[in-house]
Amino acid sequence: MMMSNQSSEPSAVPQAITSCRRQLPLAFRLQTKPRVGGGSVFLDGNTLMKTHAPLFTLAFGLLLSEVRTGIAQDLSSSAPIIISLSEIEHSGVSVMPGARDIDGAKLGLPYQGVKKTDVDALVKDGLLLRRPVWIMDGTKIIAKCNLVGEYGFQPQHEPEAKYGLLLGFASVGEAQQVGARCQP
């Protein structure tokens, strides 16, 4: 067969398509329609969707489930914010109980010598990524808790305020226990 002779004839293209259609199974055959401008053939895009709708649905569902799982894993496996006891301004540790017992309690831990802009960036990043907070004494973990927001503390004899993290706990007792361990 010479390809140049077949391409010059207008009826050669439909004959090649029909011979290919005979070889394909029924589910993979594409409908052909003559194009308005001449003898070339236009393949209908809807036919592929009609014959493969269950496969497209399954593939799309798997794609969505993988994307959601990937996002959830990234958020839950975010690196924790680690606070060492040596970084805490011990005189500013404060426990704030919730309005109701169900609300739990908040614990404010101000940093020693950390700028407000650094604390703002840490809180923004921690809240956005839902990073857990670990309070550590050397290599020992004292508590694992959630970041709620930013905490500010004004010492009595110092002109500048201290800023740190506001942490959430499930109960007032747990927050008081961790607060007591954070004070000297």
pLDDT given at position 109: 93
Q: pTM above 0.75?
A: no
81-182: which CATH topology? PUA domain-like fold (2.40.450)
Ordered by start, the domain boundaries in the chain are 3-76, 81-182
Residue 44 CA to residue 176 CA, distance in Å, equals 70
pLDDT in tens, 56-98: 777 777 666 665 444 444 445 688 999 999 999 988 999 998 8
Complete DSSP assignment for 117-165: HHHHHHHHHHHHHT-EEEEEETTEEEEEEEEEEEEEE--TT-SS-EEEE
User: Is the predicted pLDDT of residue 40 greater than 50, yes or no?
Assistant: no
